[in-house]
Each structure stands twice: as structure tokens, then as C-alpha cells.
Amino acid sequence: MSKAAQTRQFIIEKASPLFNIKGYDNTSLSDIQEATGLTKGAIYGNFADKNELVIAAFEYNCSLLRLTIDEAIASTSTAKEALLACTGFYAKNWPTVFKKGGCPMMNAAVEADDHLHFMRDAVRSSMKRFMKKIQQLIEKGQANGEFKKNVHSAEYAALLFSILEGNILLAKIMNDPKYLKTAATRISRMIEEELST
């Protein structure tokens, strides 16, 4: 990695938690300068503008989330276990999730929907990728006989994702992880009663 690429990555890694905690609009250039120890010129020498940095930081936040979920899935041996690990991730890891500001997809989605419209494509892409992962786990379970063949995998993926995200919002705003546990329990029941053969 070149020196310029290393500096760019350093800025992204330092700015990404700020954006997820303070918000993409509310995080100022001064905040980023303080976190990185770099000048305005050094930051904008690596990014055309704040919008470019915002997208890069959002995608980095989502990549970290995907990595940790993939690690949880990797320790499973069946599609059902993998689906439970994927959908139960937030309930099991809520202290870290809360400390880091919550789900990066949900946080960015609120701002992208309300006023940071330039973020919409990146947020949509990330959400679609997450739902696709859930869908593929369901389809893997269907292929190996764990899940019912007549289950619509894409519909269930969207439903499970919306339950997760809605309960993350409740847990964060109420400062109470019980909502994450409620989501995990309900999803587990759905997997057992509605998906499993």
C-alpha cells in the first residue's frame, strides 16, 4: 500500500466511528482533524470533499460489521445455526454495538432518507447485501433439507432484517438491550416454526 493509500485508510478508520456515533452531518471537519491529527489540507488532499469521505467511512463501518458477522457464521456447521448466528449477532454483542453508536446501516439510512441524499445508493447497496446474505442462508437450508422448500427466501430475508433493524432502533433509543433479545427470541421462533422442516 502506497503512503497516500495508507494516509487515506488512516483517515477513514479514524473518521468512521465519529460518523457512526455523532452522525454524518453533525461530524465536523474539526472533529476529523482532532481524531486524525491532520490538517484540513491533508484530509482534503485525500478526499475531494466531505461527501466522498462520508461514503468511504460508511462503507468501512459496514465492512467491519460484515466481517464480525461472517466470523460468527464461520463457527457454525448448519444453515440453521448460521442463520441464528447472523440474526442473533446484535443481541449477543449489544455492549459493543451500543458503544460504537449502533448499526451503521440504520444510522446512515435515517440521514440518507432525510437529507443526505447522496448516501442513498451506498446505504441501499449495503442493506441489499445484508438481506442477500440472510436469503442465501435460507436457500442453503432449503437445499440441504433444513428449511421448507415452499418458503419465499427473499421475503423472509426482508422480514428478518426489518425485525432486527427495528429492534436495534428501540434498544438504542430506550437504552435497553431487552429489545434486541426480544428480536432474537422472535426470530429464533420463526426459524423453528415457520422455516424449519
What is the pTM for the complete model shown?
Answer: 0.92
**Which SS3 state, helix, strand or coil, does residue 56 take?**
helix
How many residues comprise the chain? Answer: 197
What is the SS3 assignment for 171? helix
Q: What domains does the chain contain, in order, with CATH numbers?
A: 60-195 (1.10.357.10)
Question: 137 and 86 in contact (C-beta within 8 Å)?
Answer: yes
Amino acid at 14: K
C-alpha grid cell, residue 176: 435497553
Residues ≥6 apart with Cβ < 8 Å to 7: 38, 42, 46
Residues 75, 180, 159, 67, CA torsion sign: negative
Chain segment 81-123, per-residue pLDDT in tens: 999 999 998 888 888 888 888 899 999 999 999 899 999 999 9
pLDDT band at 149 (very low <50, low <70, confident <90, very high): very high
